Amino acid sequence: MLSLVVDVARRPTFPDDEIGKRRAEAITATRQDEDNPAVRAVESAFELMYGAGHPYARKAKGTPASLERVDRAALAAFHLRHVVPAALSLVVVGDVRAPRVIERAADELAGWTGARPQPAVVPSPAPATERRRRIITMPGKSQADIAYGFTTIRRLDPRYYAYWMMNNILGQFGLGGRLAENIRERQGMAYYAFSSCEPNVAEGPLLVRAGVDPANVERAVAAIDKEVLELGTDGPTALEVAETRAYLIGSIPRMFETNQSIAAFLQNTEMYGLGLDYDQRLPSLLEAVSRDEIAAAASEVLRPDHASVAIAGPYEA
């Protein structure tokens, strides 16, 4: 990892042949995404949730047109502006002694300079006031993919842990929470069904994903509506709260199974300023969440009449 940091910091060379190769690879990847119903559904849901001008609505890999505009001058300017010591957090995990790592890092990075970049400001999305729906018809595909979402909260919001537990109940616990139990197990409509909730530096998405036979699209959307409405209206059961709390706390050790996962946890902790004792405090933070707080989180966000729904595949309304 240290050698990679040194390379990035001290060797900002951008040969034309390498830029051309990487550009071609990136353009190929974006065109593959354009032919992927799951990617198209998610990208469309983000546009509906955030609005076309919001940073979170941008395609993560860019577009062929935007990639064509990236040349050596653009890369060098980006490097000069953003790849600077004040923006660096270095995590080293493994069978190494801390003093030796600090000494080596100081030696390797000595003389690296650069002005502190301005912090990125991500605006809050406009609150949803109605249901939005988009269909991307893609003939010849074997299944339709549904992305159904809401904007939620920022990562440092005190309600984060209630939202985490609420999402686990909705679409994560066991083989996929309430969503998979209904849509996949009981009704047999979905190849997959789950939800994710990702608060970020701005209000992150809660996104329900499902892959279904095109003939089952409307039934699947109705089933998602049902589970979302019921959890948002009635809140979780006491048993669901107890089981999801035990599951999440019991899963914490899995975050530290590999050097890579430990490094990712520490980088995330550093990014949000959670403190070096965060791993020790995390179980008690989950223990402190009440059933009422989870119900309040569900009530705040799980409103089918405000959902953004994108459907991509061999389907027409």
The CATH number given to whatever domain includes residue 196 is 3.30.830.10
**Does a structural domain hold residue 142?**
yes
3-state secondary structure of 176: coil
Are 210 and 69 found together in one domain? no
Instruction: For residue 44, tell me if it sits in a domain.
Output: no
Q: How confident is the model at residue 10 (pLDDT cuts 50, 70, 90)?
A: low
**Confidence bin at 109 (pLDDT 50/70/90):** confident
Q: Other CB atoms closer than 10 Å to residue 279's CB: what's the count?
A: 17
| Domain limit, last residue, from 109, 142, 171 | 109
Pair 159, 230 in one domain: yes
Q: Has residue 91 been placed in a domain?
A: yes
Range of the domain at 172: 132-313
Mean pLDDT, to the nearest integer, of 216-238?
Answer: 97
Percent of the chain with pLDDT over 70: 96
Residue 82 confidence (pLDDT) above 90: no
pLDDT at 2 over 80: no
The answer to whether residues 163 and 291 belong to one domain is yes
Query: Residue 119 falls within a domain, yes or no?
Result: no
Confidence (pLDDT) at 4: 52
Number of domains in the chain: 2
Task: Average the pLDDT over 55-63 and give the result.
Answer: 95
At residue 218, the pLDDT reads: 96
Same domain, 267 and 158: yes
Query: For the segment 83-104, what is each residue's pLDDT rounded down to a tens digit?
Result: 888 888 889 999 989 999 899 8
Residue of 77, 71, 73, 66 whose CA lies nearest to 29: 66
Distance in angstroms (rounded) separating the CA atoms of residues 80 and 44? 33
Q: Are residues 285 and 202 in the same domain?
A: yes
pLDDT over 90 at 5, yes or no: no
Residue 118 lies in a domain: no
The reply to whether 17 and 161 lie within a common domain is no
Strands 144-151 and 190-197: unpaired
Residues 149 and 294 in one domain: yes
Per-residue pLDDT averaged across 212-232, rounded?
97
The pLDDT tens digits of the residues spanning 128-170 come to: 999 999 999 999 999 999 999 999 999 999 999 999 999 999 9
312, 144 in Cβ contact below 8 A?
A: yes
The helix or strand, by DSSP H or E, that contains position 293, with its residue range, turns out to be helix 291-301
Tell me the average pLDDT of the chain: 93
Structure tokens at 98: 């801390």
pLDDT digits (tens, 9 = 90+) for 258-303: 999 999 999 999 999 999 999 999 999 999 999 999 999 999 999 9
H helix runs in 35-140, sequence order: 37-50, 64-68, 72-82, 98-109
Q: What pLDDT does residue 228 have?
A: 98
Query: Looking at the domain assignment, is residue 301 inside a domain?
Result: yes
**Confidence check: pLDDT of 27 > 70:** yes
Q: Which amino acid is residue 197, in one-letter code?
A: C
Residue 79 lies in a domain: yes
* pLDDT score of 305 more than 80: yes
pLDDT range class, residue 199, cuts 50, 70, 90 = very high
**Of 225, 204, 203, which Cα lies nearest the Cα of 148?**
225
